[in-house]
């Protein structure tokens, strides 16, 4: 059984390790080792198309993280006060949103955006004439689709933090005549802030590395995963490996930070002195 577990981990992580190793290949071909070199990293950062795609991904991921965290936190606050079958129904919808495959979300959001644009653009044309703005696929549609996907993740994380709150602190704040907003700002928000920050980091990571949903709704704009997919159709080069390694390192760093923030703070507190 032990060797079986080792084989599973090798199967999972060996391809990733090969990408990292061959990103330092001095040769022009991905799997033809010609010596150690870091030149492909410099070439990747000097590539204007790759840098434009990277900026697009960073903008999309940042806006997605901000909007998804704000809306998801507010939704978690509202759901925490619900009881009975409405709460169970919304809980089921949240889990369904996570379990739905990305390709289904991409197709559904594409159809939704096209339907809305076909209905709104003629109205704008009749209202403003030739100067009417035309709604089309681009950065806003990518951000909107990513926000919809990450909302469920944020709600689950923040609500899990709510479940571990000490309700006596909230009751004590209310007994001391604090306003609802004052209780939220001074008591609730500091206790759930690690979960909010972790939700922000996870939303940023999921949006930054998403390909499937962005592929359907990106329009003329290209994110970094879409650029990598377009590049490997012409052949895998060490430059693609270098870009993949940078994305991998950034994603793992954010995930580690988010996991650290999600740890129970009680586990880091010293145990009480029984003698006392």
pLDDT of 164 over the 80 cut: no
Alpha helices, DSSP H, located in 23-101: 39-46, 48-80, 85-99
Residue 175: the pLDDT is 67
Rounded CA-CA distance 102/105 in Å is 5
Element (H, E) at 113: helix 102-128
pTM more than 0.85:
no
CB contact set of 56 (below 8 Å; sequence gap of 6+): 139, 221, 222, 223, 224
Residue 79: the pLDDT is 81
Residue 64: the pLDDT is 94
CA atoms 104, 110, 112, 115: torsion sign: negative
Residue 63: the pLDDT is 94
Domains, the chain, ranges and CATH? Answer: 47-266 (1.10.3720.10)
Of 214, 236, 234, nearest in space to 225 by CA: 214
| Average pLDDT score over residue span 39-54 | 85
Of 216, 204, 209, nearest in space to 138 by CA: 216
Rounded CA-CA distance 119/3 in Å is 59
pLDDT of 224 over the 80 cut: yes
Among 12-16, 138-142, 201-205, 208-212, name the one with the lowest average pLDDT.
12-16
pLDDT of 276 over the 70 cut: no
pLDDT of 184 over the 80 cut: no
Contact 97, 152 (CB under 8 A): yes
Residue 59: the pLDDT is 92
């Amino acid at each position: 059984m032990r060797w079986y577990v080792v084989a599973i981990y090798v199967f999972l992580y060996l391809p990733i390790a090969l990408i990292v190793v061959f990103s330092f290949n001095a040769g022009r071909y991905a799997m033809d080792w010609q010596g150690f070199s870091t030149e492909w990293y410099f070439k990747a950062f000097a590539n204007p198309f790759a840098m434009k795609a990277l900026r697009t991904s960073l903008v999309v991921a940042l806006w997605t993280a901000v909007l998804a965290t704000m809306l998801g936190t507010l939704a978690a606050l509202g759901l925490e006060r619900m009881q009975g079958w409405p709460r169970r129904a919304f809980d089921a919808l949240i889990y369904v949103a996570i379990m739905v495959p990305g390709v289904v979300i991409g197709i559904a959001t594409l159809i939704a955006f096209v339907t809305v644009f076909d209905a709104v653009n003629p109205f704008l044309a009749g209202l403003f004439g030739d100067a009417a703005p035309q709604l089309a696929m681009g950065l806003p549609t990518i951000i909107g689709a990513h926000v919809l996907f990450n909302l469920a993740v944020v709600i689950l994380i923040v609500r899990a933090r709510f479940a571990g709150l000490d309700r006596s602190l909230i009751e004590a704040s209310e007994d001391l005549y604090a306003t609802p907003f004052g209780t939220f700002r001074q008591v609730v928000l500091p206790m759930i802030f690690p979960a909010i920050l972790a939700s922000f980091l996870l939303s940023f990571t999921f949006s930054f590395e998403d390909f499937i949903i962005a592929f359907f709704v990106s329009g003329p704009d290209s994110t970094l995963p879409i650029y990598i997919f377009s590049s490997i159709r012409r052949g895998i080069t060490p430059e693609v490996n270098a870009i993949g390694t940078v994305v991998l390192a950034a994603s793992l760093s954010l995930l580690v930070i988010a996991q650290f923030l999600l740890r129970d703070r009680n586990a880091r507190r010293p145990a009480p002195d029984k003698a006392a």
